[in-house]
């Protein structure tokens, strides 16, 4: 009887250990979900690809008239960059990810969430820009280019 109990307990411990090791943490799951690197990330969503988990803000820009801050974000693991509004804002505000040799990604701010752009592989130069509010001349305030 003691031997049968020991085998049963060992089996339960093994099952329990397997269950405890399985990642249920959303951050751990996001790391597993990475699907792209560099140019393969161009046009893709940083959250869906899991690239936002190790992202850093390289620099920020704000319109001279005030308004929300736009962040230039980069994931070293994915070798990709994107922009996002640091806070919610009215959708009158526009930002763009200006990309060398590619049409820019233009986004509107959102009053519901901090809006962000699709990504670009970091093999191209890129910068973050925010449109001057209610500017009839279509002027943008921009960060320096990153390579």
Tokens encoding 63: 């319109």
CATH fold of 33-142: Immunoglobulin-like (2.60.40)
Domain ranges for the chain, please list them: 33-142
The percent of residues in the chain predicted with pLDDT above 70, rounded, is: 76
Q: Are strands 66-75 and 56-63 parallel, antiparallel or unpaired?
A: antiparallel
- In this predicted structure, the answer to whether residue 107 has a pLDDT above a threshold of 90 is yes
Q: Which of 4-8, 36-40, 41-45 has the lowest mean pLDDT?
A: 4-8
Distance CA 89, CA 122 (A): 28
| pLDDT at residue 6 in the model | 42
């Amino acid at each position: 009887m003691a031997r049968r109990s020991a085998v049963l307990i060992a089996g339960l411990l093994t099952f329990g250990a397997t269950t405890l090791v399985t990642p249920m943490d959303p951050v751990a799951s996001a790391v597993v979900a990475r699907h792209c690197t560099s140019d393969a990330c161009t046009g893709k969503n940083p959250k869906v690809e899991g690239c936002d988990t190790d992202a850093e803000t390289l620099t920020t820009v704000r319109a001279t008239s005030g308004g929300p801050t736009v962040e230039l974000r980069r994931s070293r693991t994915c070798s990709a960059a994107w922009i996002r509004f640091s806070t919610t804002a009215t959708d009158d505000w526009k930002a763009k990810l200006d990309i060398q040799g590619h049409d820019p990604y233009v986004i509107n701010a959102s009053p519901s969430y901090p809006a962000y752009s699709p990504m670009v592989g970091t093999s191209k130069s890129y910068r973050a820009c925010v449109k001057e509010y209610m500017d009839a001349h279509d002027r943008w305030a921009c960060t320096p280019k990153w390579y």
